[in-house]
Amino acid sequence: MPYPVDSIRAQFPVLVRNSSGDKPLAFLDSTATTQKPECMIDAMNKFYREHYSSVKRGVYRLSEQTTQAYEATRRNVAKFLNAASENEIVFTRGTTESINLVAWSYGRKFFKPGDEILISALEHHANIVPWQLIAEERGATIQVIPVDDNGDLILSEIPRLLKPGITKMLAITHISNSIGTENPIAEIIRTVRELSPETKILIDAAQSAPHLKMDVQALDCDFLAFSGHKMYGPTGIGCLYAKYAILDAMPPWHGGGEMIQKVTFHHTTYAAPPARFEAGTPPIAEVIGLGAALNWIQQIGIQEIRQHEMEMLDYALKQLEQVEGLHILGTPAKRGALLSFTLDAAHPHDAAMILDEENIAVRSGHHCAQPVMDRFHVPATIRASFGAYSMPWEIDRLVQGLERVVKIFG
């Protein structure tokens, strides 16, 4: 069966609302955040309209109904990632908070002076800054896997950088948000397990969870983080997967209600994971919305979505060759559903403003990946990215818009 992109796009109110006129919206910024399907919006509205209450704090019917819906999402996430247990899933505000949770809980307890944290040259700031902060506090240092001119990590450097007993954490992106490089995560994890079995491994899956079938048990990662808003769900919700034995050894990083077992003025004992890491009233509506978004992805089929996005990527690569003075950043061996590029004629911000006049939405800037921009000697790039609803005519309009940019500034 052909991929039903027309019927899929019709499920997204923002795209439908902006589809008329001479300049229908070409939304090419799904790497930053995806648009939301009607079913996800309806699920959140239904919660607020029909059974709004808190979770785990009442025996009355509304609270029980809400708690069931809330925990059903946790089970759904565990299934989506093939986690061994739903108790390995912690709800957070997003990938950034998930990584900070690991840094400030696991890192604060287990890092010591002289330890090292290994990251890559392709990381988003959210997988750099938390490690810098905890490294400074604990007296640890950061090592970086370099990237070559194609945008691929130099994997041969890992054995040199990885030090058994010293490298306590490898924190690495699965798909780069700036170049689009899809790192060979399974291969990297196997190398680390062989050379330094005690090193813990965290995967930043913000850009891969919406596009690739994930199996944390097969990967054998210790931690994996993703955000709901990048996978057709709401903002303000994300997930941290962690092996249960590791979670159970980690102290809480926020204190408050729900994460406790017993509180006195002299001493507090903490609940078992995942509750230990979910202090306070949680983002209930957002969790329910995430559950609906995951159901939507599973209904369409994540592999089908991936195939469609790769077709859009291939089409974009061919069509953008027409644009005078356009340079795509990197030629990695495998690329996710995004392209970063520069124009000889105009700064990325100026180009993006002209594109906006044409109702074409792209991202411009350093994409919270300034070290990547420095490595490739560019101040910023234009980024076009694709999702389940992307269509070839959007790419055609991007090319036309860029040709207008070249004509104005050339």
Summarised one tens digit per residue, pLDDT across range 180-204 is: 999 999 999 999 999 999 999 999 9
Three-state SS string over 22-37 comes to CCCCEECECCCCCCCC
- Structural domain includes residue 199: yes
Do 225 and 205 meet the contact criterion of CB atoms below 8 Å apart?
yes
Together in a domain, 161 and 282? yes
Together in a domain, 275 and 395? no
Together in a domain, 322 and 397? yes
Together in a domain, 291 and 323? no
- Structural domain includes residue 291: yes
- Exposed e or buried b for every residue in 84-100, given b needs 16+ CB within 10 A? eebbbbbbbbbbbbbbb
Together in a domain, 99 and 165? yes
Q: What is the pLDDT of residue 58?
A: 75
- Structural domain includes residue 36: no
For the annotated catalytic residues, the residue numbers are 368
Together in a domain, 287 and 307? no
Summarised one tens digit per residue, pLDDT across range 7-25 is: 999 999 999 999 988 999 9
State the average pLDDT over residues 41-54. Answer: 96
User: Residue 331: pLDDT above 90?
Assistant: yes
Together in a domain, 124 and 236? yes
**Residue span of the structural domain in which 393 resides:** 5-30+301-409
User: Domain end: 269, 298, 327, which one?
Assistant: 298
Q: Which helix (H) or strand (E) is 248 found in, with range?
A: helix 244-249
Together in a domain, 150 and 240? yes
Q: What is the CATH number of the domain that holds 332?
A: 3.90.1150.10
Give the mean pLDDT of the chain: 97
Please tell me the total count of domains within the chain.
2
Task: Record the pTM.
Answer: 0.97
- Structural domain includes residue 83: yes
Residue 256: CB atoms within 10 Å: 11
- Structural domain includes residue 35: no
- Exposed e or buried b for every residue in 144-172, given b needs 16+ CB within 10 A? bbebeeebbbeeeebeeebbeebbbbbbb
Summarised one tens digit per residue, pLDDT across range 280-293 is: 999 999 999 999 99
